[in-house]
């Protein structure tokens, strides 16, 4: 089977490959009739553009790298995988492929740049979830656009797209307070990730605003220093509500409370974050925050695309507001 390129199409039509190139990439410089004929013939001959050849001239790969730390995807049901899927779908609409690369802990520690960067396979990189700070500092030296997704770094000029965890935490807690709750626990290790910390601070802001004293004895750890979930310690005196830093933890907590004979939401209300599967398979379903991933993703794609065209551009931290999804795990009390 003969290799077919633009020259073969040109030959068949008795024109130059320059015209073929222009016709196929919708550049001006060919008549509309010729463009149509060229596309027809290309299609019939089963022509596939060799993007590598184009890349050599244009210095564009039409690929975006998506970096994920291995630790975030140990679970079969890892959340970042689905975000990655969304990004890939979005990229597809602008003629770009996404290349996911999973960064192992060794790679991070050794400070080895991602393959997609070292081999110039991508025009830009989206970092999905926080990597180690030294590794990120290293990454910040790359010569192609870089954005952080779902986290940010203090003292860093890298553009980031994030869920507005702070404000969502505030609104969710406020909602509990408006439903009469005043002893509200927070479940989550507040130094583990910026997301947890921001959600916690939003929770705290709601308390302050409503003039409720912060009770540190009901700020409950949910993971150890490696980020591994640990058993949740239920306070001796049951608070009237729990703000959990994610649905998974809310689910686990609810199972534990139920096994202790606590009925939810009758005896105790529980809320979570993420609007994930866990909030729907639990009984009752968990009131939670939807982060509007769709919006976060389309923003990220838009931003990185603009950065590729215009590397100087600065967008800073973009916060995407979430939406409270009211389900069945909160009860109004007096």
Q: Point out which residues bind a copy of itself (CB under 8 A).
A: 1, 48-53, 55-56, 61-63, 68, 70, 73, 75-79, 81-82, 84-85, 88-89, 92, 95, 97-102, 115-121, 143, 251-252, 255, 259, 276-277, 281, 283
173 binds, among DNA, a copy of itself, none (CB under 5 to 8 A by kind): none
Q: Six-digit token pair at 245?
A: 């830093």
12 binds, among DNA, a copy of itself, none (CB under 5 to 8 A by kind): none
Minimum CB distance to DNA, residue 40 (Å) = 14
132 binds, among DNA, a copy of itself, none (CB under 5 to 8 A by kind): none
CA pair distance 151, 271, nearest whole angstrom: 22
Strand partners, 124: 64
CA pair distance 47, 314, nearest whole angstrom: 40
Is residue 230 left, alpha or beta, with left meaning phi > 0 and alpha meaning psi from -120 to 50? beta
Residues that bind DNA (CB under 7 A): 3, 5-7, 15-19, 21-22, 24-25, 27-32, 34, 47, 49-50, 53-54, 56-59
95 binds, among a copy of itself, DNA, none (CB under 5 to 8 A by kind): a copy of itself
Q: Which residue has the tokens 């700070």?
A: 133
Minimum CB distance to DNA, residue 17 (Å) = 5
**CA neighbours closer than 13 Å in the CB half-sphere of residue 255:** 11
Q: Which is nearer to a copy of itself, 75 or 316 (CB)?
A: 75
Minimum CB distance to DNA, residue 312 (Å) = 20
DSSP for 230-264?
------SSPPSEEEESSHHHHHHHHHHHHHTT--T
Strand partners, 68: 102, 128
CA pair distance 145, 159, nearest whole angstrom: 9
Minimum CB distance to DNA, residue 41 (Å) = 13
Q: Which is nearer to DNA, 5 or 85 (CB)?
A: 5
Minimum CB distance to a copy of itself, residue 277 (Å) = 5
């Amino acid at each position: 089977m003969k290799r077919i390129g633009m020259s073969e199409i040109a030959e068949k039509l008795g024109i130059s490959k320059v015209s073929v190139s222009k016709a196929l990439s919708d550049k001006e410089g060919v008549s509309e009739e010729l463009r149509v004929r060229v596309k027809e013939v290309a299609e019939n001959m089963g022509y596939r553009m060799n993007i590598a050849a184009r890349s050599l001239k244009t210095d564009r790969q039409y690929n975006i790298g998506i970096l994920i730390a291995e630790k975030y995807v140990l679970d079969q049901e890892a959340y970042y995988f689905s975000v990655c899927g969304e990004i890939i779908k979005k990229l597809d609409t602008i003629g770009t492929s996404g290349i996911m690369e999973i960064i192992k802990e060794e790679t991070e520690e050794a400070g080895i740049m991602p393959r997609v960067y070292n081999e110039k396979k991508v025009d830009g990189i989206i970092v999905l979830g926080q990597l180690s700070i030294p590794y990120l500092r290293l990454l910040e030296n790359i010569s192609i656009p870089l954005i952080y997704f779902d986290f940010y770094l203090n003292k860093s000029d890298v553009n980031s797209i994030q869920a507005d965890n702070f404000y969502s935490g505030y609104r969710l807690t406020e909602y509990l307070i408006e439903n009469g709750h005043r002893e509200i626990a927070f479940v989550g290790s507040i130094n583990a990730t910026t997301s947890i910390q921001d959600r916690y601070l939003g929770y705290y802001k709601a308390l302050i605003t409503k003039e409720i004293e912060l009770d540190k004895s009901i700020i409950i750890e949910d993971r150890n220093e490696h980020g591994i979930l640990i058993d949740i310690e239920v306070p001796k005196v049951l608070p009237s509500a729990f703000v959990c830093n994610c649905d998974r933890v809310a689910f686990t907590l609810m199972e534990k409370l139920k096994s202790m004979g606590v009925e939810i939401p009758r005896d105790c209300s529980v809320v979570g974050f993420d609007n994930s599967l866990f909030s729907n398979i639990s009984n009752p379903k968990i009131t939670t925050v939807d982060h509007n991933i769709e919006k976060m993703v389309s923003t990220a794609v838009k931003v990185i695309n603009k950065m590729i065209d215009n590397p100087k551009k600065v967008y800073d931290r973009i916060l995407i507001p979430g939406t409270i999804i009211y389900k069945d795990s909160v009860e109004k009390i007096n």
